[in-house]
A and B are shown apart, each in its own frame.
Chain A
């Protein structure tokens, strides 16, 4: 009973925050509502027994996306002008579209409630001894469906290349001048960020955690460092090679492992069973580092040192 109440409250709150995100008059309010929406949705992930997703959502969906949105908002002009015109409730076109959409949603609800759910867990369960990781999500991510993860890192890297090709990095105006406490806070918190990321990375092979949450938390720490005005090394000429190498490291390591599968077992992406757990840890460290740096690279909105 209490659980049902909690779920309904969470659902109503999430819906209300989504409404605020989309239809609040001020854009700033929309962005902040979106960040709180992300936090509430991570609670929903926990209720749905998906702690891995909750960790990643809290760090990436809320932390990093929120930082990206807020810094973009700071660079745009006149963001407080009412960016939302009142919904045209009385226009026949809008009304008919909304009714159609409502009917569509109703049928979608009926379909979702009736959905057959065989699930793939028996298949995954059966192959777990060969996976090299005892946590099923990590096994699926880095072994069974490793190709998806490889492509995802490639998507992220191409996003970085795309953003950097637009122009030189806009140095974020560091609020550290007005807030002298910020660099001290960043210096104090960075060891904690490192520790948490390392812990999640280590945990990943047997419990919720792994490369994605670890990379996200490292990246969030990195963005805090950029905010505190400690991101100068990314701009220096002599570090450009290292920066690019680290950005590509995750993808390159993953590809190397996949190709070594061709040589050792004859099948692309087949991890050799004897080495599977070591290889998974290796890939996890590489991807976590790359994800963290790519999130920081997003935040620059352009190519550094050019």
Chain B
């Protein structure tokens, strides 16, 4: 049973890497990063499940990782929003100059 999830985690890793490097849109790249994170979490949990008795240490690591990944997502989104604002302001100024 764990093998299915191991294969899924690897497939998601590959998919997310393709998405990460071909995405034009920054939001899309962020989504790819999140999917990549989930794939890594799944690998960790599969390793925990495959151990002779359920291993709590990877679980704790994944819980920590989820909170860190929401923090990165929030920071990246804030940067994307401010960059988009700056870009529209710039283009408005250019229109006024011309």
Interface status of B60 (Cβ within 8 A of chain A): yes
Please report the C-alpha to C-alpha distance between residue A242 and residue B46 in the assembled complex, in whole angstroms: 42
A234 to B61 Cα, complex, angstroms: 32
Interface code B20-55, partner A: CB below 8 Å = 1, 0 otherwise?
011111011001101100100111011111111111
Q: A3 — which chain B residues lie within 8 A by C-beta?
A: 1
Secondary structure of the A contact surface, majority rule: helix
Indicate if B2 sits at the interface (CB-CB under 8 A). yes
> A60 to B12, alpha carbons, bound, how many Å?
20
> Chain B binding site: helix, strand, loop or mixed by DSSP?
helix
Output the nearest chain B residue to A111 by Cβ-Cβ distance.
B10
Interface string of A128-164 (1 = CB under 8 A from B): 0000000011011100010011001001100100110
Q: Is the CB of A73 within 8 A of B27?
A: yes
Q: Which of A50-58, A181-189, A193-201 touches B?
A: A50-58
Minimal Cβ-Cβ distance residue in B for A146: B60
Chain B residues bordering chain A, tally (CB within 8 A): 71
CA distance A38 to B28 in the complex (A): 16
Q: Let me know if A49 is at the binding interface, CB within 8 A.
A: yes
B89 at interface, CB cutoff 8 A: no
Q: Is the CB of B63 within 8 A of A68?
A: no
Closest to B19 in A: A22
The 7 closest A-B pairs by CB, nearest first: A119-B51, A22-B19, A83-B25, A298-B74, A159-B71, A136-B56, A119-B55
Query: Given A84-B24, A112-B10 in contact, is the A21-B56 Cβ separation under 8 Å?
Result: no
27 contacts between A and B (CB under 8 A): A7-B1, A11-B7, A22-B19, A27-B28, A48-B2, A48-B45, A49-B54, A50-B62, A53-B59, A56-B63, A69-B77, A75-B81, A76-B84, A77-B84, A87-B22, A102-B14, A109-B6, A118-B51, A121-B53, A136-B56, A137-B63, A140-B57, A141-B64, A152-B64, A152-B68, A170-B81, A301-B78
**B3 at the A interface (CB under 8 A):** yes
In the assembled complex, which residues on chain A have CB atoms less than 8 Å from the CB atom of B41?
A: 53
Q: Tell yes or no: A179 within 8 A of B by CB.
A: no
